[in-house]
Amino acid sequence: MQFFRLALIGVFCVGSSLALAQTAGEDRPIALDAAAGEISGKVMVVNTEKRMLTIRTPDGQFQVIHVPPEVRRLDEIKIDDELTISYFEAVAVDLRKGGSGTPEAVVTKDVERDATAKPAGRMEETITVTGIIEAIDNASSKVTIRGPERTVTVSVQNPELLTDVSVGDSVVLTYVSAVAASIE
């Protein structure tokens, strides 16, 4: 059984598959990545106490879905209902010359509930994390960044990006997760 969780798991993660792109200007995105998808199936189990749903997809796979507390009508979802969840996740990394001085994390949530007979709605969560460049290793194409909760060292896919980076510059990571769900 595959576990599918509709929640953010980490606050300072940058995947190794980020596509790097350099643009001109003082603040420039240096890495971008996005993914979208959809999951649908028949509801097999509803656990309102643990806020979990189990669905069976059309190919016979079972998916366990964690339902966030922002979903208010979980008790209205019934066995044999058809559930469709569309999701989108994106991450962007920006370089800010000079830096802001203090690492920080800001989380915003936007929830929109549909007033339909069956439960439906959309949620978007944005996490913006500012980190400070602590060290640059040009020989191994690595940068050490101090975030609000920890310090990480990341590999840079395009070593040319390191020529314009200095210790003390800020790196801003923006992670957006959007989910829309409906019951048929």
- Please give the Cα distance from 162 to 150 (Å, whole number): 22
- Tokens representing 18 are 């980020």
- Tokens representing 58 are 């059309």
pLDDT in tens, 21-51: 333 334 455 678 899 999 999 999 999 999 9
**Vertex 79 angle, CA 76 and 81, to 5°:** 75
Indicate the pLDDT class of residue 95, thresholds 50, 70 and 90: confident
- Please give the Cα distance from 46 to 66 (Å, whole number): 11
Nearest alpha carbon to residue 93 among 29, 145, 163:
29
Contacts of 20 (CB under 8 A, 6+ apart): 30, 31, 156, 157, 158, 161
Nearest alpha carbon to residue 97 among 137, 147, 133:
133
Residues in the chain: 184
CB 38 within 8 A of CB 84: yes
Nearest alpha carbon to residue 53 among 40, 67, 39:
67
Its domain, for residue 155, covers: 2-183
What's the total number of domains in the chain? 1
- Tokens representing 149 are 């909760």
- Please give the Cα distance from 17 to 154 (Å, whole number): 12
Distances (CA, A) of 181 to 7, 13, 25, 50, 98: 14, 26, 39, 19, 42
What pLDDT does 29 receive? 57
The DSSP output letter for 164 is G
pTM higher than 0.95: no
Indicate the pLDDT class of residue 6, thresholds 50, 70 and 90: very low
- Please give the Cα distance from 63 to 75 (Å, whole number): 19
Mean pLDDT of the chain: 81
